[in-house]
Structure 1
Amino acid sequence: MSSHASSSPTGLSGIAGLIGRRHLRAVFQPIVDFEDGAILGYEGLIRGPAGSPLETPAALFAQAFEEGCTTSLEHAAARTCIEAFARLNCHGKLFLNFSATALRQLTDAGRDTPALFDGTLDARRVVIELTEQSAIEDLGEFTQIVDALRAAGAQFALDDYGTANASMNLWVRLQPDVVKIDRFFIHDIAHSALKFEAVRAMQHFAQASGARLVAEGIENEADLIVLRDMGIGSGQGFFFGRPDMAPAQSLPQETREALRADHIAVFPEPARRAAASRAGGSAPAEKMIVHAPAVPRRATNNDVLELFNRQPELHAVAVVEDDRPVALINRRAFMDRYALPYHRELFGKKACLQFANASPVLIEQSMTVEQMATLLASDDQRYLADGFVITDNGRYAGLGTGESLVRAVTEVRIQAARYANPLTFLPGNIPISSHIERLLSHDAGFYACYVDLNQFKPFNDQYGYWQGDEVLKFAATVLADACDPTRDFLGHVGGDDFLILFQSETWLDRARRAIETFNAGALRYYAPADRMAGGIRGEDRHGNPAFFSFVTMAIGCVRIAPGDGAQHNSEAIASLAALAKRRAKQESMGLVVIDSNDSAALVPAHGEPVAAAN
């Protein structure tokens, strides 16, 4: 043992002394079933002597690394946890952490059962967690170690999944019974779309492989509710309890109430770029490709003329060399030149590159819609008339037209706007409908509030679309501030129409505050003279002179009582909210609330159809 070890801070001859004198302590943290709040088991953790420099596990293992006895500490920690777990008569499973190296030394060729199981605790109550501390050099050999643990009755788990050595490769090869998601992905998942999507991907694979997921590091109710509602079955973290020498047999009342919370989580939405990619498909360039013959670089103008005459539908022809495009000849430009006197006689036998565009626009088949969209904003707009060349790994694949490019980008952007509004980045119609369906399927009570801006069109006509967009972004900011992001869902239907799905108990105060804040703040978007006049002058929809007051906010709300979900669908809810909105526009306070089951409230006013969306 090193001299450093012999003078350990505890005065107990280092880690070996702590182990020999049994000065290690076991503490336990509960692992909880989200469905009923039951404690499934505990993770056993190790601590050094209380109040000493080696009390924390980080300090213990750092010292053990210096002394070269990390594996011995792991084995001693496991024995300490097993003995304490049995002595305390804890129920459920005991989760124990091991590195690959420590697990390898637990199995002995001369033993039928790993050395860990000596009868103190039934092996069927133990879950062995493989930590990220060391890589596995020989997975084939390690699979035999896992098989031996399972043969003894224990279950096997991957710990800290998503970081370091915890990889998809291990999941596939070792087929764990349990996978514990690293706390990095869990912390703040209620507000992180990327973490949400990462955990959802793990969830899909867990369902395919039959593994149980445990979310580590849960510290607040918002993250818990998101995990619960997305279908993660269990978890652990400070929200349920800190590691303790005397583990509780049940959860505190406030924690059980959080698990039973009747509001439905608002899932974080992906960014607009991700929504556009999801709407656009994997290879949009493939959808607009025109399979057309090409001519070699040595071809003459007569060869090109013959090809155009033989295939009158071709808008252009590519010039290639070694299957790679080097130029593009537009049909109309070529034929116009050939129509001039003596051009065929003068240029017919000359190289076709003479009348070609030697720097055509090239689009790779794998190019995303966003990359293709940059062409629409470029200074060089020749591709709109000439078309462009589509390549596959740089080799000629076919042609495309400017018209097809504009159509493809437009269609994808329209589709993407259904997922996320490009102006406010708020969720669009598809996420709105999806969240309504989730609320209805869980029979959760909520208020569907349709938001509209009065006098917005005259303002837009007077001040222009740029200023109008600023007002819409201001409205989105005001509405977002009025929402609790963990309970209330805010979406942008389009134009000046928004939809809030309130679950907050203070929803009415929040709606009123949004109206007041917007109505006061909207004044700053008017010129001083218009503010003094109280509005703007313009023309009504019939072309007659009219005076329009300031832009104001109107909110029409529909109450969906708990348990009424089966009576409605997302389209009906949106239509009822639109009806309430139209009535709110007639009220001086700008706010109307109707009940979805109130037959009198559902009678259309002034003959308007209930199903109208605007």
Structure 2
Amino acid sequence: MRTAILTLPGAVAPPDPHSVHALLRAQTLRMHVQPIVDLLTHRVAGHEALVRTPADCAWRSPDALFQAARREHCVLELEHACVEQALKACCQAGLGRLFINLSAEALAAMDDLPLPPCVNDRDDVPLAGVVIELTEHERVHELEPLQRVLTRWRAAGAALALDDFGDGRSSLRLWSELRPEYVKIDKYFVRDVHRLGDKLKTIRALQQLADTFGSRLIAEGVECADELLVLRDLGIPYAQGYFLGRPGPEPATELPAAVLQTLGNRHIAVLPEDRHVANRGLTAQALLMEAPALPHTASHAQAAELFHHHPELESVALIDEEQRPLGLLARHTLQELSLNQLYFRELYGRRPALIHANPQPLCVEVLTPIEQLTQVLTSPDQRYLREGFILTENGRYRGLGTSEQLVRRVTEARIEAARHANPLTALPGNVPLTLHIERLLDHGEPFIACYADLNHFKAFNDHYGYWRGDEMIRLLARCLAAACDTRLDFLGHVGGDDFVLLMQSADWQERLQTAVERFNGLARDLYDPGARQAGGIWAEDRHGVMRFHRLTTVSIGVLQVQPGRYRHAEAVASAAAAAKHLAKQGERGVHVLSDAEASRYGEAASAVSAGASSAAPTAPAGAPIQ
């Protein structure tokens, strides 16, 4: 290696022997390498070169070393020296692709320098296997120098990676303009990805960008098996982190046993759910109804004339010269005054309507989040429900809003949100449940689909009221959740007292039986002492007939899903529901669908699902389970 190739002209070393300049003159910097793992082949695909200082150096970490170099104004010299050391490592066998960190400024400074000499046994492609890992993206102001250098390096066999994408410094424009072969996902988004749904969504968004720009993703900072399992199931091609291998002086030749065991695990990771807010970003603008207003000096006669020409209006706003609301006059107020007060028109027809208007109307800015308006529905001032409210922009009149519109919007939003997360238990709803079934089916692995339902719950709920009924449902949710291994088993609440479990735990039978026994024991405590002693309560059945209902228990129908037997989530849900009905018929606790029963219900469900697919081939994957 000819070191002069990458040395910047004009660099002068200061006299301090403990300076960064002294380290560069002594050539005592060394490179360690950290493995980058191919999650598909379960092999080491390459290494990242990381600079290390001598044992007696004052700067023990790379960050401290580069901070010192900034103080001495020799960052570029240091970076180029690290590149030299890293390129020498290319001669070592077993490195695979070698990722070398280089700032955009240092790379652009190589525009006038010749390429490094041959560093391997391929004279025709001297930089084959070298990947320049571009750091400090925020300093990129001009792309042209970078493009020129990269064109030359790529022609010599090198590739480009963007480092720490997503940390706030990286640029989507760089990704689009430079078209890197690799993009590294910042470790912030990798950490706890198995628990945090928002990070999972971010990584999925980066996958879409990678598909668009033709790049391959590398997840940085993998520190535990659960993170690695989620990344594998998401289809992230490469990963790097302490769990996979720490930096060392020698390249990794094989993966740790724990890593191989995780990658070889045939179980499908249960992905975290981000709390779905269907009305996020929805504002009062959605409630705006264009409606004429009257000046605050308008008379009762003028207000009556406006209502006559606009029968759809229940109220009219009275505004000043600057379009600011001063009152809200309701149609019913004017009608009642006309009917109940003699000579009202003669006495008040020409007088200002403002005297009978609500002088303190509810005024809502159009950018107000609609969720904040739900307090209107429970306000002690019921005039808002009948008269509506005024919508303003920067305090000026824009139009009216009605309670009917507000109720409809809030209801629609909450129904949509309930499809993603049940509001009573906060457990995943129909949409994530369906998506998880489809993931399990797509991977072709066996799993257990369970449908849980309560026995005699309607009588309990009617007798004790919704509050204690909700307590019963929450108790069932806790018992079922306690029976799940969160890494392998998925619990969803599809509505009412219906729950679905998708289990991969080997001991699923013991877990379900424990959940049934625990719930049945604790559910007794929600009854009054007399009912517990009698073993139930008297209440009307679904047909209005008074009869005795035993204490509430839980029944769970179990479907053993084998690869290839079911093609659609709907078929699995239908067969699991059939198992639940059989379990409830005899209140058997846990009923496992037999092979004959599974065949009968499976064929029927598959036929229904196939018919639905042929009739609507573009039906969305997230269709709810009924």
* Partner Cα distance (2:406, 2:20) in 1: 69
1:335 correspondence with 2:296: no
1:243 correspondence with 2:244: no
* Partner Cα distance (1:51, 1:495) in 2: 67
Q: CA deviation at 1:215?
A: 0.8
> What residue number does 1:563 align with?
564
Q: CA deviation at 1:23?
A: 2.5
Q: Which amino acid aligns with 1:264?
A: I
Q: Structure 1's 369 and 597: CA in aligned 2 closer, same or farther, altered over 3 A?
A: farther
- Residue pairs, 1:199-210, within 5 angstroms: 199-210=203-214
> What residue number does 1:9 align with?
none
Find 2:229's aligned residue among 213, 225, 229.
225
> What residue number does 2:326 align with?
326
8 Å contact 2:108–2:145 — kept in the other structure?
no
8 Å contact 1:594–1:601 — kept in the other structure?
no
8 Å contact 2:490–2:503 — kept in the other structure?
yes
> What residue number does 2:10 align with?
none
* Partner Cα distance (2:213, 2:356) in 1: 61
Find 1:75's aligned residue among 56, 75, 80.
80
* Partner Cα distance (1:245, 1:316) in 2: 79
Q: CA deviation at 1:510?
A: 1.7
8 Å contact 2:299–2:349 — kept in the other structure?
yes
* Partner Cα distance (1:451, 1:283) in 2: 35
TM-score normalised by L of structure 1: 0.87
Alignment length (residue pairs): 587
> What residue number does 1:26 align with?
31
1:581 correspondence with 2:580: yes
Q: CA deviation at 1:496?
A: 0.8
Q: Structure 1's 393 and 270: CA in aligned 2 closer, same or farther, altered over 3 A?
A: farther
- Which deviates more from structure 2 when the two are superposed, residues 388-397 or residues 354-363? 388-397
Q: Structure 1's 454 and 223: CA in aligned 2 closer, same or farther, altered over 3 A?
A: same
8 Å contact 2:163–2:183 — kept in the other structure?
yes
Q: CA deviation at 1:591?
A: 0.3
- Which deviates more from structure 2 when the two are superposed, residues 573-582 or residues 356-365? 356-365
8 Å contact 2:451–2:557 — kept in the other structure?
yes
- Residue pairs, 1:207-286, within 5 angstroms: 207-252=211-256, 254-271=258-275, 274-277=276-279, 282-283=281-282, 285-286=284-285
Find 1:102's aligned residue among 101, 106, 116.
106
Deviations along 1:360-393, whole A, 9 cap, x unmatched? 2234444434223232233323121102223455
Q: CA deviation at 1:447?
A: 1.0
* Partner Cα distance (1:206, 1:81) in 2: 27
Deviations along 1:489-534, whole A, 9 cap, x unmatched? 1110111110011122222222122112222232333334444444
> What residue number does 1:10 align with?
none
- Which deviates more from structure 2 when the two are superposed, residues 215-224 or residues 14-23? 14-23
Q: Structure 1's 67 and 525: CA in aligned 2 closer, same or farther, altered over 3 A?
A: farther
1:163 correspondence with 2:167: yes
Q: Which amino acid aligns with 1:96?
A: I
Q: Structure 1's 181 and 348: CA in aligned 2 closer, same or farther, altered over 3 A?
A: same
What secondary structure does 1:120 align onto?
A: coil
What secondary structure does 1:98 align onto?
A: strand
- Which deviates more from structure 2 when the two are superposed, residues 40-49 or residues 30-39? 30-39
Q: Structure 1's 207 and 308: CA in aligned 2 closer, same or farther, altered over 3 A?
A: same
Supply the RMSD in Å over aligned alpha carbons: 3.1
Deviations along 1:79-100, whole A, 9 cap, x unmatched? 112112x221345321111234
- Residue pairs, 1:11-50, within 5 angstroms: 13-50=18-55
What secondary structure does 2:277 align onto?
A: helix
8 Å contact 1:23–1:49 — kept in the other structure?
yes
8 Å contact 2:324–2:395 — kept in the other structure?
yes
Q: Which amino acid aligns with 1:456?
A: F
Q: CA deviation at 1:192?
A: 0.4
> What residue number does 1:503 align with?
504
* Partner Cα distance (1:310, 1:478) in 2: 61
> What residue number does 2:617 align with?
none
1:177 correspondence with 2:173: no
Deviations along 1:247-268, whole A, 9 cap, x unmatched? 1344356534533433322221
Q: CA deviation at 1:404?
A: 2.3
Q: CA deviation at 1:560?
A: 0.9
* Partner Cα distance (1:328, 1:231) in 2: 58
What secondary structure does 1:602 align onto?
A: helix
Find 2:199's aligned residue among 181, 195, 209.
195
What secondary structure does 2:379 align onto?
A: coil
8 Å contact 2:327–2:358 — kept in the other structure?
yes
* Partner Cα distance (1:476, 1:359) in 2: 46
Overall identity of the aligned pairs, in %:
43
- Residue pairs, 1:447-462, within 5 angstroms: 447-462=448-463
What secondary structure does 2:279 align onto?
A: helix
Unmatched runs of 5 consecutive residues or more in structure 2: 1-12, 121-125, 613-624
Q: Structure 1's 155 and 326: CA in aligned 2 closer, same or farther, altered over 3 A?
A: farther
TM-score normalised by L of structure 2: 0.85
8 Å contact 1:288–1:404 — kept in the other structure?
yes
